[in-house]
């Protein structure tokens, strides 16, 4: 059932005083300097800011793909800061879907095979995985293209396949890294509408890192980062003016 997140919606992601430094000694570069951040269930939240402000690093630590030095992160009640690497991998496998800037579809596999990958990693049979993948591709407007290689599709179609791959195992958290940067305005708009629909789920949250101010209007909230810290959070409403 589609829902829209409100300030009363339960928290999906809760980040407290998270720090992360790359390198050591004189070469040390602090990427996150005590970040506090929340994302709610049923919400599409965007993290924006200039290059090098730490937004991709924040996305990586929330997704459990990068270790952080200090602070606490809870994702749907699971404390990542207390979990061992193997448990985090297991958590990611079941609960996180990824949409990447360059789609990252495996070019030598068909679209159906690409979409099946998360299910196969989760132990589903090939037949079951491919059936689910085919159904989802149909729902996302790609009927009959499942047996094709991703390289035969347009950028927008490839991103739809990537969205299908991110959703096929029904994750609770969907992580998107610059999902529209490789797409034109109209296609990017269609993709964002799709992601907004994905976020309208009571038990799901979508976090998008982007530079693309054309898509800010699709966010429920905008988190603005600068120099490794969250500077501002812009509330709901669909019109987010970051010119201040």
Partner 1 sequence: MLLGDRAKYVMLVGGLTFATMLMTQQSAVFFGILKWTTSHLSNMRAKLWIVDRNVQQANELKALRDTDVNRVRSVTGVAWAMPIYVTIQSAKLADGNFKPIMLVGLDNTTLVGRPPVMLQGRLEDVRLPNSIILDDLGVQRLSVGRAKPLGLGDTFELNDKEARIVGICRADRHFFGYPYAYSTYTQALQFAPKQRKMLSLVLAEPAPGWTPERAAKQIEIETGMKAYTEDELFWSTIWWYFRNTGIPVAFISIIVLGFIVGTTISGQTFYAFVHENLRHLGALKAMGASNALLARMLLVQSLTVGFIGYGIGVLLVTAFGHAVLGRGEPPFMLPWQLPAATFAIVMGICCFSALLGIRKVWKVEPAVVFRG
Closest residue by Cα to residue 118 from 107, 101, 132 = 132
Does the footprint of partner 1 cover residue 177 (CB under 8 A)? yes
Among 6, 108, 152, 231, binds partner 1 (CB under 8 A): 108
Q: Closer CB to partner 1, residue 92 or residue 196?
A: 92
Q: Closer CB to partner 1, residue 7 or residue 51?
A: 51
Q: Closer CB to partner 1, residue 113 or residue 224?
A: 113
Our CA dihedral for 125, 127, 133, 138, rounded to 10 degrees, sits at: -160
Alpha-carbon gap, residue 116 to 75, rounded angstroms: 24
Does the footprint of partner 1 cover residue 182 (CB under 8 A)? no
Task: Count the site residues for partner 1 by CB under 8 A.
Answer: 28
95 near 172, Cβ under 8 Å? yes
HSE (side-chain half, CA atoms, 13 Å) at 201? 17
Q: Which residues contact 40 (CB under 8 A, 6 or more apart)?
A: 5, 6, 7, 9, 10, 11, 12, 205, 220
Does the footprint of partner 1 cover residue 109 (CB under 8 A)? yes
Provide, rounded to whole angstroms, the least separation between the CB of residue 172 and partner 1. Answer: 13
Instruction: Give the pairing type, strands 221-226 and 205-209.
Output: unpaired
Among 3, 11, 83, 117, binds partner 1 (CB under 8 A): 117
Provide, rounded to whole angstroms, the least separation between the CB of residue 108 and partner 1. Answer: 2
Closest residue by Cα to residue 162 from 184, 130, 127, 136 = 136
Residues 13-52 that bind partner 1 (CB under 8 A): none
Residues 77-96 that bind partner 1 (CB under 8 A): 86, 89-90, 92-94, 96
Q: Closer CB to partner 1, residue 86 or residue 127?
A: 86
Alpha-carbon gap, residue 116 to 130, rounded angstroms: 6
Contact residues for partner 1, defined by CB under 8 A: 56, 59-60, 63, 65-66, 86, 89-90, 92-94, 96, 98, 100-102, 104, 106-109, 117-118, 121-122, 177-178
């Amino acid at each position: 059932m589609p829902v829209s997140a409100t300030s009363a919606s339960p928290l999906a992601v809760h980040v407290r005083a998270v720090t992360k430094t790359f390198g050591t000694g004189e070469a040390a570069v602090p990427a996150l300097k005590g970040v506090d951040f929340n994302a709610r269930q049923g919400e599409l939240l965007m993290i924006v800011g200039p290059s090098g402000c730490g937004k991709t690093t924040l996305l990586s630590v929330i997704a459990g793909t990068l270790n952080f030095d200090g602070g606490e992160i809870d994702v749907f009640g699971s404390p990542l800061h207390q979990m061992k690497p193997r448990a985090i991998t297991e958590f990611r496998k079941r609960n996180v879907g990824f949409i990447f800037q360059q789609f990252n579809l495996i070019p030598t596999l068909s679209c159906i095979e690409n979409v099946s990958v998360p299910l196969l990693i989760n132990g589903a049979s090939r037949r079951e995985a491919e059936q689910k993948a085919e159904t989802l591709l149909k729902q996302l407007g790609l009927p009959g293209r499942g047996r094709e290689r991703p390289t035969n599709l347009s950028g927008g179609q490839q991103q739809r396949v990537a969205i299908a791959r991110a959703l096929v195992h029904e994750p609770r958290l969907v992580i998107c890294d610059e999902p529209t940067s490789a797409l034109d305005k109209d296609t990017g708009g269609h993709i964002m509408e799709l992601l907004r629909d994905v976020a309208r789920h009571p038990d799901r949250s979508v976090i998008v890192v982007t530079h693309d101010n054309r898509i800010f209007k699709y966010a429920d909230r905008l988190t603005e980062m600068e120099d490794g810290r969250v500077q501002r959070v812009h509330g709901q409403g669909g019109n987010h003016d970051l010119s201040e």
